[in-house]
Amino acid sequence: MNLKNKKILLIIGGGISAYKSLDLIRLLQRKGCSVKVILTKTGKNFVTSLSVSSLSKNRVFEDTFDEKKTGKMDHIYLSRWADAILVLPATANFMSKLSRGSADDLATTVILAADKETFLIPAMNVRMWEHKATRKNLNTLFGFGYKFIGPVDGEMACGEYGKGKMSSPRQVISYLEKFFKNRNFLKKKNIRAIITSGPTREYIDPVRFISNESSGKQGYEIALELSRLGIKTTLVSGPTNINYSKEIKVKKITTGKQMFGEIKKILPTDIVVCTAAVSDFKPIIKNKQKLKKKTNFDKIQLEKNPDILEYLGKNNKYKPKILVGFSAETENVIENSLEKMREKHCDIIVANDVSKKETGFNVDLNEVVIIDKNGDTQSIKKSSKKFIASILARKIINSFLDINKRLN
């Protein structure tokens, strides 16, 4: 009974699938939930306030300014009351409004005022779901931290078939139960993770160094996502321009050697995600004075930096339960990434084509292929790094839970 005593705020949107909200209310109450409902103006075209109030056994909220019945500011009251917010159906129009930060009715105002988990349950025609505008809004909403349940493939009310059909009420219940169960489990188990991010700087002299264009954004988003899922997360980061959230513990370093040292201090741990672009080589000697132009730079000797991913993968004493590597490639991306996964003994590898200017290093978008050691592959086309972090974090958690089940 993972949903027992949960307070659920259900927002009913304006789509034909809105009729399924009545079944969802009934199922939520069977699970021991308390349910309050916001019925949107368009939602009233599909279900009645009387039906909703009869099933929820609570007053139905409709208008932002209808506060005479409670004497409270409804958008504040409801956002504080709820343990979770569900939007069903989340139409293309509702997602568009939410992605822009609109607050022109009670539903959108409550979501903007809330600091609780918000789950969007989309329902729309397959072409609407695939439209570039919807994909853009989807990335934005993932970036805000909203969770999505569905949609699924199936026959829709319009008679067409494809992805866009709303998840059934039972599928929604199943997802919520799993979500809260996993979050509670992760918090109780005191699971720890290390995320490496950003570049390193290997100094030649006081003003020159070997580095790369990594911004650290992808690693930072992964650290945030894991932290919000209940993982005690430490981010070991090279020099970046990121204003780090207080939600995660951050260890700032400059060189690859320093990063390796910080990681050793924290080990052993349960999960390690190596997104940092550690410089492969460093000068054997750092010159104390700035080298002049007439210096023979051919004589600067280099040595390899420690390979952190390889150390963690091959060291049985410190190998985490889940080891994730990032493979930044410019050619033969999948082949090179698979080879790296085998050589470094990774559980998951994220293949990252950094040859494209619009994705990868020093930008907000990325395009990756996530591959696990069982051969399961998931391609993510050009998306926000927040979206990719959400998908990868879910993959990591599911892999961790599978291992835990086998051990028990």
Indicate the DSSP class of residue 159: S
Rounded distance, CA 258 to CA 264, Å? 10
CB count within 10 Å of CB 383 equals 23
Indicate the DSSP class of residue 114: -
Helix (H, G, I), strand (E, B) or coil at 356: coil
- 209 CB-near residues (< 8 Å, 6+ apart): 201, 202, 203
Active-site residue, 33 included: no
Rounded distance, CA 91 to CA 263, Å? 45
- Distance from the first to the final alpha carbon of the chain: 21
Of the residues 33, 158, 274, 346, which is catalytic? Answer: 158
Residues paired with 209 in a beta bridge: 203
Residues paired with 203 in a beta bridge: 209
| Six token digits for residue 341 | 């996964």
Which amino acid is residue 155, in one-letter code?
E
Instruction: Please answer whether residues 60 and 53 qualify as being in contact, where contact means their C-beta atoms are separated by less than 8 angstroms.
Output: yes
Residue with tokens 């990063």: 259
Rounded distance, CA 180 to CA 225, Å? 15
Instruction: Please answer whether residues 204 and 297 qualify as being in contact, where contact means their C-beta atoms are separated by less than 8 angstroms.
Output: no
Instruction: List residues with catalytic annotation.
Output: 158
